Amino acid sequence: MRSQDYDRLFLSPPHLGRHELNYVSKAIEDNWVAPVGPNLDGFERDICEFTGAWYCVALTSGTAAIHLGLRLLGVGPGDEVLCPSFTFVATANPILYLGATPVFIDSEAETWNLCPERLREALEARKHQNRLPKALIIVHLYGMPCRLREILALAAEFGVPILEDAAEALGSRYEGQPLGSFGDVGVFSFNGNKILTTSGGGALVTNSAEWARKARFWATQAKDDAPYYQHSELGYNYRLSNVLAGIGRGQMELLEDRVKKRREIYAWYRQHLAAIPGLSFGPIEPAGSHSNRWLTCLLLNPIETAITPEQLRLHLETHNIESRPLWKPLHLQPLFATVPSYGGEVCTHLFTRGLCLPSGSAMTEVDLQRVAGAIHDLLMPK
């Protein structure tokens, strides 16, 4: 059959139901459509209850949350912020917003996240130069917990605060504790492709009442307490709307089911593609962790197969199946050509070998068989 004869299988589409409609309809009936209202308050409470964080500020994007979080940590012009190279550009862009410089750290091969050994190397080198970073950003890539025990210990040893980018990791846990609750500031994304979506949105979580108050203040144009519009600080239009927060409230009711389904999809792929030479799956869960498996990712070993990830991606496209390369490391991006970097070989290697497969929580057995069949056709021709 031709590719146009199949419905498109997307990488990670939104998965909505009646739960969301109930909250959205109530917001419209009550005329609570502005960036305030009971859905917004309720969504923030739901996130706090789930993560264990004391305070939550719902925002227009995860990027906005990183921006405000770094500002809360005091990042400004001339500062340095340590950041994984293997992540989406939105992790690092807010560093530039604030006039600071990112310093990129390589991954380790199991979790694909920040390498503690490279992190120590960077911290010791920056300390020797008398310019310890203002902050450290850690990322839980593809929903996989990083090696938190080692990384938290290093940050404490050198006195560097942590912004925890859990944009892809809502619902994941490390030693029983939800991700996003380990850093001085935690960040989530609710973009349309995430495990929980508000169509577009994000959140900042913290245990500091003052930081939460400050984040809300900055996110609503930093309006001073006056009857007229007076502004003494720079602010932004970053607050999530009450309507979109209603979508989030409905999605939160289904989050545990969504995590269960994504993990089942990962297990299905592993079982049905295990016999293909040169194909493996990653990243690997560290001991005591529970990943939401936001996206299922495979690796192709060039020693065992001549097929490249790009050839496989293009082949899947002929079947109207969306797949996507792993994140291109930031130290390889033209935008960051002059930025300091520690290592880079591991994440570069992963980038050249990896591909993300369709992983949406609404996928059926037929959908999974279609993806697996197309992969078998290319990698194990009859």
Residues 6+ apart with CB under 8 A from 366: none
DSSP state of 127: H
Q: Please, are residues 161 and 136 in contact by the beta-carbon 8 Å criterion? A: yes
Query: Is the same domain home to 265 and 237?
Result: no
Terminal Cα-to-Cα distance of the chain (whole angstroms): 18
Query: Is the same domain home to 314 and 233?
Result: no
- Is the residue at 12 inside a domain? no
- Is the residue at 182 inside a domain? yes
Instruction: Please report the pLDDT score of residue 123 as a whole number.
Output: 98
Query: Is the same domain home to 40 and 186?
Result: yes
Query: Is the same domain home to 183 and 54?
Result: yes
Query: Is the same domain home to 121 and 241?
Result: yes
> At which of 198, 232, 253 does a domain end?
253
Catalytic (active-site) positions: 194
Q: Which helix (H) or strand (E) holds 63?
A: helix 62-72
Instruction: Please report the pLDDT score of residue 1 as a whole number.
Output: 44
Query: Is the same domain home to 281 and 204?
Result: no
- Is the residue at 94 inside a domain? yes
As a dihedral over the C-alpha atoms of residue 371, residue 377, residue 379, residue 382, rounded to 10 degrees, the angle is 150
Q: What would the two tokens of residue 272 be? A: 């049905």
Query: Is the same domain home to 206 and 339?
Result: no
Query: Is the same domain home to 120 and 210?
Result: yes
Query: Is the same domain home to 91 and 237?
Result: yes
Secondary structure (DSSP) of 315-349 = HHHHTTB--EEPPPPGGGSGGGTTS-EE--HHHHH
Query: Is the same domain home to 54 and 139?
Result: yes
Instruction: Please report the pLDDT score of residue 34 as a whole number.
Output: 83
- Is the residue at 142 inside a domain? yes
Q: Which domain holds residue 38?
A: 18-253
Phi, psi at residue 36, to the nearest 5°? -145, 165
- Is the residue at 339 inside a domain? yes
> At which of 224, 253, 282 does a domain end?
253
CATH, residue 228: 3.40.640.10
Q: State how far the Cα of 269 lies from the Cα of 341, in Å rounded to an integer.
A: 35
> At which of 209, 233, 253 does a domain end?
253
Q: Please, are residues 16 and 247 in contact by the beta-carbon 8 Å criterion? A: yes
Secondary structure (DSSP) of 192-222 = TTSSS--SS-EEEEES-HHHHHHHHHHHBTT
What is the number of structural domains in the chain? 2
Q: State how far the Cα of 179 lies from the Cα of 182, in Å rounded to an integer.
A: 7
Mean pLDDT per 10-residue segment, the chain (382 residues): 73 92 93 91 98 98 98 98 98 98 98 98 97 98 98 98 98 98 98 95 98 98 95 97 97 97 98 96 96 98 97 98 98 97 98 98 98 96 72
CATH, residue 316: 3.90.1150.10
Instruction: Please report the pLDDT score of residue 17 as a whole number.
Output: 82
Query: Is the same domain home to 144 and 276?
Result: no
- Is the residue at 8 inside a domain? no
Q: State how far the Cα of 189 lies from the Cα of 164, in Å rounded to an integer.
A: 12
Q: State how far the Cα of 179 lies from the Cα of 287, in Å rounded to an integer.
A: 15
